[in-house]
Amino acid sequence: MHQMPPSLLFSKALLLATGLLSCAIGFANEASLSSDTQETITNSEVVSDEALNKQNTKSSLNNPNAALVAMAFKFNRIDGSPNTYTEVVANYCKKARNGDADALFALAWMYENGKGVSADKSVAVQLYTKAAEQGHSSAQQSLARITGVQATSTLPTCLLPDPPVAKASTLDANSTAEERKAVSEKTAALFYSQRHILKLVNKLAPRYKIDTNLAMAFIAVESGFNVQATSVKNAQGLMQLIPETAQRFGVKDAYKAEENIKGGLAYLRWLLAYYKGDVELVAAAYNAGEGAVDKYKGVPPYPETRMYVKKIANLYNNITHPYQDNLVKASIIHDFPKKKTM
């Protein structure tokens, strides 16, 4: 007889838990955890059948969130299934990262009540909100119950997307091992927080041989990750393409995220080739135009442009970036000594 893998059994357990949760909600008057229903089980203790039965008996009707968590423990005799609240958190994190509303809901409860994690209602509100946005009625009820708490702006670490390409040197075999880390941990966290945009840039940037971190730095400075951003000069979308630049690189709708990023990456690739990988000059030209940079043979003396260059440098540490030879004729700037601009 074929034996079902433990991981599949646990998945079925979670599905069963979700069904029981829905039933419990129908009888619940308030999705809250009162002081007399809280358990004394610690993060490191194994949950016994006695503790499980006690939790189910005392709190499942008043607190359907707890019923969902408790059901995860019911299969703790299966190898690989969770024995502690910390392990339950890890399992729900995996599902919540993929957008599972029930997992987001259960994980929010665990943050609200400090089960397996440090209690943090601001994180709980954020996770309840994400579940509620998918139409999860119990999450909506939980949000109505918790008042005066602002959602945190940063996702829990376990829900962050995969990191971007580590550094520009991975794009060019001639880059030196001594090259500095492309971005700081703080900047990386900023990029990670923009999950959907980062996913697009991770997909598109390698096609243009652009470091993901460099592209994300330009998006951050240009639009603050606002897909619908429009400047007073009619620069549009994530990478703030003016109509002439959009037309130049074949962008039909600058407010569509993927089209805009493609156009911006194409322009960055061109500028990198034109300025032989000089990130400072590329940033200056992206802001003021290559004509202005060529005229002044360096960063133009415009306060806005100089501030823009500093902002890019604050996000992206490398001063050079690999570029494609023979893509364009190099700028005449490289025939002159580079001026000190800052």
Tokens 């360096």 belong to 298
Let me know if 51 is exposed, middle or buried by CB neighbors in 10 A (0-12, 13-18, 19+). Answer: middle
Q: Residue 301 above 70 pLDDT?
A: yes
List the domain boundaries for the chain: 6-154, 168-335
**In CATH, what number does 168-335 get?**
1.10.530.10
Contact 46, 76 (CB under 8 A): yes
pTM above the 0.85 mark? no
CATH topology of domain 6-154: 1.25.40
**Concatenated DSSP letters for 246-260?**
HHHTT-S-TTSHHHH
- Give the residue-averaged pLDDT of 277-297: 95
Residues designated as active site: 222
Convert the pLDDT of each residue in 29-77 to its tens digit: 333 333 333 333 333 334 444 444 444 444 433 455 555 665 555 544 4
Q: Residue 103 above 90 pLDDT?
A: no
